Chain A
Amino acid sequence: MKDKNLVIEELLNAWEETYKKGQLTLWVFLALKEERKCVEEIKEFVERMSEGTMSCEEQSLYRNLRKFQHLEIVAYESKKVSKGPDRKYYYLTETGKELFKRFVERNILIFTKESIINLLNH
């Protein structure tokens, strides 16, 4: 029989895998809400602000941002850099801001209710 801690660790990993799947979008939106960012800066923001619990490949970020751009959730402006091609700085469009606001209202702010905070802390 497996050690209890090992079972909990395995269950925790399985839960986190599922939980984190949909989390990247939230972190990307948070990054872009702060200010316009290029992909490298978004990646750095996600990893730093999530204290290393979230990680993402640049390729995956590019793919998602391209998708969001087609859906008119994000847009970008090109800026010249001293070396190499122009760099794309992404930002939330009005649709993106509204989408983020409504998502946060429905799904995130509930965790700031005192009764929930109390449950989380005990």
Chain B
Amino acid sequence: MKALSLRLGQFAVCALLVTAMFRYALNLCIGKDSMLAAVSCSVVYFCLMYYIGYHFGEKDAVENGYHDIGFRFHLATYVICIGVGIGAHYIGWYTEPLKAMAITAISWGIGLLIHFIFFLFAQKSTIKGYAREEIFQ
């Protein structure tokens, strides 16, 4: 069992690519003042992120078995989304103002912190990170 597992790494790479592509596409849509295209990009981005999260998360649960109630994948998503957002801003892609990004980072960060607290509680009922009821299944 590894906190930094292969599947988490694969998820991070895919999420990084998808998020970078989304930010670039959003930059183009806003540049052309196309609201419909921007909303469509966001919907596609959401679906892709949901799919890769589900795909790699499920494989990680089976192969790695770390009972973290999805916290590692949540943390990776947070770092990638916020990181790429800030990076896109400094590259010069216009997607959203830094202030809006800061609000997102803080509010999402609070959600992440709550998830972390639940993660710590979940860890208390595990044996070396494995859910007790799943060890001898």
Contacts and interface: CB of A to CB of B under 8 A. Distances in A.
Contacts of A63: 62-63, 65
B60 to A, nearest CB: 12
Interface string A15-49: 00000011001000000000000000000000000
A70 B136 contact: no
Interface string A92-106: 000000000000000
B127 interface: yes
B127 A71 contact: yes
B55 interface: no
B13 interface: no
A31 B60 CA distance: 28
Interface in B1-48: 1
Interface in B96-137: 127-128, 130, 135-137
Contacts of A70: 1, 128, 130
A63 B65 CA distance: 9
> Which size bracket describes the interface of A in this complex?
under 10
A67 interface: yes
A25 B136 contact: yes
Interface in B32-83: 62-63, 65
Contacts of B62: 63
Given A21-B137, A25-B136, A67 B127 contact: no
A22 B137 CA distance: 6
B63 A67 contact: no
A71 B136 contact: no
Contacts of B127: 71
Contacts of B137: 21-22
Interface of A: 21-22, 25, 63, 67, 70-71
Shortest beta-carbon contacts, A-B, top 6: A25-B136, A70-B1, A67-B65, A71-B128, A22-B136, A67-B130
12 contacts: A21-B137, A22-B136, A63-B62, A63-B63, A67-B65, A67-B130, A70-B1, A70-B128, A70-B130, A71-B128, A71-B130, A71-B135
